Amino acid sequence: MAGIGPIRQDWEPVVVRKKAPTAAAKKDEKAVNAARRSGAEIDTTKKYNAGTNKAASSGTSLNTKRLDEDTENLAHERVSSDLKKNLMQARLDKKLTQAQLAQMINEKPQVIQEYESGKAIPNNQIIGKLERALGAKLRNKK
């Protein structure tokens, strides 16, 4: 221990501080009342349309008149009756159930049901899969 001077104690005070309050804690009613009592400056602002749904509905009034005047009947294109009949006939010729055909083309059985009932919106990719799996032309067969 030669060369090390005498051991000294450090007597300076150490200050440990708490974390500053979060934004939510500052808005707490207790914190606001305590700040009022201590005379601290408090800033209160009312937000425009706070707690209401007025802002979301205000933009719709511009299009309401245009929507009311619109008389065009909009509907999705459906599978043609020729495609329905051709699909059913080709499936029955191969002696497949709807579920088996759906499994062959990696689709849900509901998709085949929709195509055969005419409720499906035509998708050329699915129709192509059906044609390859059944080995028959389903579109424009005349």
Q: Please state, in angstroms and as integers, the Cα–Cα distance from residue 68 to each residue in 35, 64, 72, following that order.
A: 55, 6, 11
Q: Is 77 left (phi over 0), alpha (psi -120 to 50) or beta?
A: beta
Judge contact between 101 and 89, C-beta under 8 A: no
Tell me, yes or no, if the pTM score tops 0.85.
no
CATH superfamily of 81-134: lambda repressor-like DNA-binding domains (1.10.260.40)
Sequence ranges of the domains in the chain: 81-134
State the pLDDT at residue 2. Answer: 60
pLDDT of the chain along its 142 residues, tens only? Answer: 566 777 777 788 888 887 777 777 777 788 888 888 888 887 777 776 666 766 565 556 667 777 777 777 778 888 899 999 999 999 999 999 999 999 999 999 999 999 999 999 999 999 999 999 999 998 875 4
94-106: per-residue pLDDT in tens? 999 999 999 999 9
